[in-house]
Structure 1
């Protein structure tokens, strides 16, 4: 092989290496860019889901508050209605309260599921705690609803504190999730 042929072969090999490395680097750049764009899209979806859940949560908690706080004269009205209709008043009240609590809680189910689909794991755990806190808060509204001892304000207030802690934990987890900028390879 002459030196001219060797130079041409070396140039062809060098060109092929440059071309191949350019191809692989270009693919890597495109893949990284796609990962960052997907991360930004996911971040936007999460933000929307977190806000929707907090809105639905606040609406549900206010609804439960309205349910347990029918007015300062409830006991007087209940006693009067019970004297007119008998024990069926409390049975009706228990069924009505259960129906209302279920209806109020239903409004949070879809936003909860959406957050659980989008993650991340820390937010999922906080979301599950939020769901459990709402369920227990609803149970406190139902507590004693079939009796003249309704509402059970002590239990309700304890569960309100529990619900506030769960909301705060969810907000902290979602805030931490939103502050992490999308990066390639993550």
Structure 2
């Protein structure tokens, strides 16, 4: 019976090791699948961030260019308003124009707040503040009485703030894009 017991014990041990091996394989395989799914999700999210960044930068460039053109053609716009809409204020035109430049920036900006990684919020907020400040500056200029010379001294500082905010976003986005997705991040 000793040989029989030895065979039984060996069979039980082999069975336990076999079951343990199967369980370990299932656990390790599950971990690999979870890690792979996480990496794939992070890669997808990174692509979404890249698309949102491109959309935001395109809208931003268009908006800033629009603000610059408003300033460049300020007296022409004032004259057009006086000739074609004497019953309306020039500030109304500026309000509508500034809002039309801001609206396309809002959607990708908000998307960045939703899907952007930590740290990007500050850069997008700086962009938002810079555009709002420049817009408010132009609104202030438009509230001058007709024929009054507007004070454009502050416009240079507004342009500098716009350029600085763009640079902050570019730097933050570059850092974000250069970080490869990895499980556990």
Instruction: Work out whether the TM-score is over 0.5.
Output: yes
2:116 aligned residue: 119
Please tell me whether residue 138 in structure 1 is matched to residue 141 in structure 2: no
1:58 aligned residue: 61
Moved over 4 A (4+): 88-91
Deviations for 1:51-70, whole angstroms, at most 9, x for unmatched residues?
Answer: 10000000000011111111
Deviations for 1:4-60, whole angstroms, at most 9, x for unmatched residues?
Answer: 110001001100110000000000000011011111101100000001000000000
Matches within 5 A, 1:72-151: 74=75, 78=79, 92-147=89-144, 148-149=147-148, 151=150
Query: 2 CA distance for matches of 1:149 and 1:166?
Result: 31
Instruction: Sort the Cα spacing of 1:81 and 1:185 in 2 relative to 1 into closer, same or farther, 3 A.
Output: closer
* Partner-residue secondary structure (3-state), 1:144: helix
Taking structure 1 as the reference length, what is the TM-score of the superposition? 0.88
Query: 2 CA distance for matches of 1:124 and 1:61?
Result: 20
2:156 aligned residue: 157
Deviation at 1:90, TM superposition (A): 9.5
Structure 1 unaligned regions, length at least 5: none
Deviation at 1:183, TM superposition (A): 0.6
What's the C-alpha RMSD, in Å, of the aligned pairs?
2.3
Taking structure 2 as the reference length, what is the TM-score of the superposition? 0.88
Structure 2 unaligned regions, length at least 5: none
Task: Give the number of aligned pairs.
Answer: 179
Query: 2 CA distance for matches of 1:47 and 1:121?
Result: 15
Deviations for 1:107-163, whole angstroms, at most 9, x for unmatched residues?
Answer: 111010111111111111110111111100111122221324454422221111011
- Tell me if structure 2 keeps the 8 A contact 1:133–1:163: yes
1:18 aligned residue: 21
Instruction: Sort the Cα spacing of 1:117 and 1:26 in 2 relative to 1 into closer, same or farther, 3 A.
Output: same
Please tell me whether residue 171 in structure 1 is matched to residue 174 in structure 2: no
Instruction: Sort the Cα spacing of 1:150 and 1:60 in 2 relative to 1 into closer, same or farther, 3 A.
Output: farther
